[in-house]
Structures are given as C-alpha cells and as structure tokens.
Amino acid sequence: MPSMNYARTARIYWWLESLSFGPWLRRARVLHLDRIEHVEHALLLGEGNGSFLLPFVRRFPQARVTVVDESHEMLDCARGRLLQAGVSVDRVAFVHADVIAQTWPDQTYDLVVSLFFFDNFHQADVDGMIRSIAPATRAEARWLLADFQIPERGGRRWRGRVWMWVIYRFFGCVASVPTRVLPDLKGALSGAGFESVCHGVLCGGLLYSALYRKGAAKYNRSVPVE
C-alpha cells in the first residue's frame, strides 16, 4: 500500500471541510483554546493547512511552535496562511517529517496538539507515536486533541457509522489513508500518563474535543456543545 499523502488535497482542503463538517471542525479545534493559560513551546502534529495554527499564534504570539507534517504542500499552505494574515513566522518551525519515524527532544514541549490527525493511523501506530512523544513533554504538559467518534446508541450511532464509512473510503482513495477504524485515543493517552480534564462533544456527538494534562487527577468535566 502506498504511504499516506495529502499533497493532492492541500489546495482544496478548505473546500472539502466546508462541504462536510466545516463549521463544526473549526469549532472543535478551538473549543478549549481559552482554557490554556500559557504556552512556551507547542508541538503541532499533522497541522495541515494551518486552521488551528493561525488562531493559536494570535493567542500566544510569544510561544515557540514546531509544526510537523508529512506533506510539503500542507506546510506551505500553513505558512502562507500566516503570512497572508500578517502574522510573523519567526517563532514557527515547519518540519517536513513522518511522525511515526520522528525522534523528539526530551522534556521540550508544554503543549502537544493533534487535531483530526490520529484517525489516519492504525491503533498500533497511534500507541507508538504517543509513547514516543510523551518523554518529550514537560511535567504537567497539556495535550489538546479533537477527532471523530461514533455515538454510543440510537439513530446518531447509525449516522456516525455511515459518515465514517464515507470519510474513510474517500480519504483512502485520495490520500491513501491506511485504516478504516477510529483508534482509542483516550486509552493511548492514559497509558502515556495523560488524563482528560475537559471534554466536549459537537455535531450530534460525531465530533469531540478534549484537553488532557500530564499527571492530572482522573476526572472529567463534560462540556456538551451542540
């Protein structure tokens, strides 16, 4: 199977989002952004075209940011988005790399962001990536994520199954996404020492956004958003 490649969708990704879950995806990305008080060095995984990067650097202009993506085209889109908005890229490092094979500096990042990223991978790869990144985070680091989920019951569950079938088949064809099953991110993060402190659901339960903290007490504050 060819390696995953979002290059051919880079220039039209905004339109693909807008024709599907655009407003909900954008809302999920920033749902917990105001709950993050301070950031020194953030790691953004698979940021894509900069949908989160732009509001993030506007909120934290003094933070250093490392953006890692396997697509040169997506990195170019993200960089261009900042420049077009008049935002400096001096504190942003754009790294073209495969996250699965990447090595990380010890205890460097106080925030990791993975938005609609891990759903591209098999569970074993997700577990491996999170285990490799965890030692690169500082004490009490936060992990911000948003992704798809299938609601637990009722008509929403069937709707979720249909949508995920469509999404995985589409991106399997255009971007060679290898998996067809959503990974267990909560379990993977918990195994790496991160616990959820805020959790919100959107779009009838099809999307969720969560903020984790390294070494946090095990509690959840549900933040239902429809």
Assign residue 27 the CATH number of its domain: 3.40.50.150
Q: Which of 175, 174, 176, 151 is nearest to 164 (CA)?
A: 151
Whether residue 38 is contained in a domain is answered as yes
The pair of three-digit structure tokens given for residue 49, joined into one six-digit string: 């075209």
Q: Which domain holds residue 175?
A: 7-224
Evaluate whether 44 touches 92 at the Cβ level (below 8 Å): no
Fill in the DSSP letter of residue 4: P
Q: In this structure, is residue 16 part of a structural domain?
A: yes
Angle at the Cα of 84 from the Cα atoms of 78 and 90, rounded to 5 degrees: 65
- Could you tell me if residue 2 is inside a domain? no
CA distance 21 to 3: 26
Would you give the DSSP letter of residue 3? P
CB-count burial class (<10 Å; 0-12, 13-18, 19+) for 37: exposed
Q: Tokens 């989160």 map to which residue?
A: 52
Identify the H or E element spanning 92. Answer: strand 92-96
Is the C-alpha dihedral spanning 165, 157, 183, 120 positive or negative?
positive
Q: Residue 57: its pLDDT value, please?
A: 97
Contact 187, 13 (CB under 8 A): no
User: Which pLDDT value is given to residue 22?
Assistant: 67
Q: Which residues of the chain have pLDDT under 70?
A: 1-20, 22, 172, 174-176, 216-226
pLDDT value of residue 52: 96
Please state, in angstroms and rounded to a whole number, the distance separating the CA atoms of residues 189 and 36: 18
pLDDT tens-digit map of 205-218: 899 999 999 986 54
Residue 81's pLDDT is 94
pLDDT at 220: 47
pLDDT for position 4 = 62
Dmax of the chain from CA atoms? Answer: 49
Domain-located, residue 1: no
pTM to 2 decimal places: 0.87
Q: How far apart are CA 112 and CA 102, in angstroms?
A: 15
pLDDT at 156: 81
- d(CA 225, CA 1) in angstroms, rounded, equals 38
Residue 160's alpha-carbon distances to 116, 163, 216, 226, in angstroms, are 16, 5, 31, 15
Whether 116 is covered by a domain: the verdict is yes
Q: Is residue 207 part of a domain?
A: yes
Number of domains observed in the structure of the chain: 1
What is the 3-class SS of 195-206, one letter each residue?
EEEEEEEEHHHC
